[in-house]
C-alpha cells in the first residue's frame, strides 16, 4: 500500500504597496483623470445652461418682434378701413 500525499492548500495573497512607483503612478493618473472628468462635466453643464438661457432670450425677442409686426399690420388695417369709411361718407354727402 502506498500512501498518497495530502493535497496542500495554496493561499494567494495580493497586496499593493502604495510606495511602489508603478502603483503610485497609477493612483495619481487615475485621480487626475477623475478630476479632469469632473471639471469637464461641470464646464459642459454650465455651457448647456447658457444655451438654455440664450434660447429663452431669443424666443422672447422673436415673440416681441412678432407682436410688434402684428400691431403694425393691425394699425395699417385700421387706417385703411378709416380711409375707406371716410371716402364712402364723402360719396354719400355729395
Q: Each residue of 46-86: pLDDT tens digit?
A: 988 888 888 888 888 888 888 888 888 888 888 888 888 88
Reading the block at residue 57, the C-alpha cell is 432670450
The domain limits of the chain are 42-94
As a whole number of angstroms, the distance between CA 2 and CA 24 comes to 52
Average pLDDT of the chain is 85
Is the pTM for the entire model greater than 0.85?
no
Structural contact between residues 24 and 18, judged by C-beta atoms closer than 8 angstroms: yes
Q: How many residues does the chain have?
A: 94
Q: What are the distances in angstroms from CA 63 to CA 7, 38, 75? A: 84, 38, 18
Backbone angles phi, psi at 52, to 5 degrees: -65, -45
Amino acid at each position: 500500500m502506498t500512501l498518497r500525499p495530502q493535497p496542500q492548500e495554496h493561499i494567494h495573497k495580493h497586496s499593493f504597496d502604495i510606495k511602489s512607483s508603478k502603483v503610485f503612478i497609477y493612483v495619481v493618473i487615475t485621480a487626475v483623470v477623475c478630476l479632469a472628468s469632473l471639471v469637464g462635466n461641470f464646464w459642459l453643464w454650465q455651457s448647456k445652461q447658457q444655451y438654455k438661457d440664450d434660447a429663452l432670450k431669443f424666443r422672447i425677442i422673436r415673440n416681441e418682434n412678432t407682436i410688434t409686426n402684428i400691431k403694425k399690420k393691425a394699425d395699417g388695417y385700421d387706417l385703411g378701413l378709416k380711409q375707406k369709411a371716410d371716402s364712402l361718407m364723402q360719396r354719400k354727402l355729395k
